[in-house]
Amino acid sequence: LSDAEKKVQGRSFLNLSKEIAYYHHEWYNGKGYPYGVSGENIPLSARIVAVADVYDALRSKRSYKDAMSHEEAAKIIVAESGTHFDANIVDAFLRQDVLFREHSMIQ
């Protein structure tokens, strides 16, 4: 991504992609990896994707685990608000609960 980004002038989707790839495993409290950055030093794009990535992992069936319900996954995300996740992002996630239900995304 860095090599491709150098070939584009100004900001592009490559900048956003790189931020997400580099930082979405960082924790809001600084206990994540690979850099150990915290809070708003983590790009907003990565803070958003961190919640989406964990939600997807919890809701998806894997060879080593069953899929969780929406309620179970949301409870875990809420429990990690302010530590693993930016509390503002978790609040935005929770405000979408009615949309999950309206669009039958919850099984």
**How big is the chain by its Cα radius of gyration, in Å?**
15
52-89 pLDDT per residue, tens: 999 999 999 999 999 999 899 999 999 999 999 999 99
> What pTM was computed for the model?
0.86
- Count Cβ atoms within 10 A of the Cβ of residue 56 and give its class: 0-12 exposed, 13-18 middle, 19 or more buried: exposed
Q: What is the pLDDT of residues 21-63, one digit of tens each?
A: 999 999 999 999 999 999 999 999 999 999 999 999 999 999 9
Of 20, 21, 40, 18, whose CA–CA distance to 29 is shortest? 40
pLDDT of residue 32: 97
What is the DSSP-derived secondary structure letter of residue 40? G
Confidence grade of residue 1 (pLDDT, cut at 50, 70, 90): confident
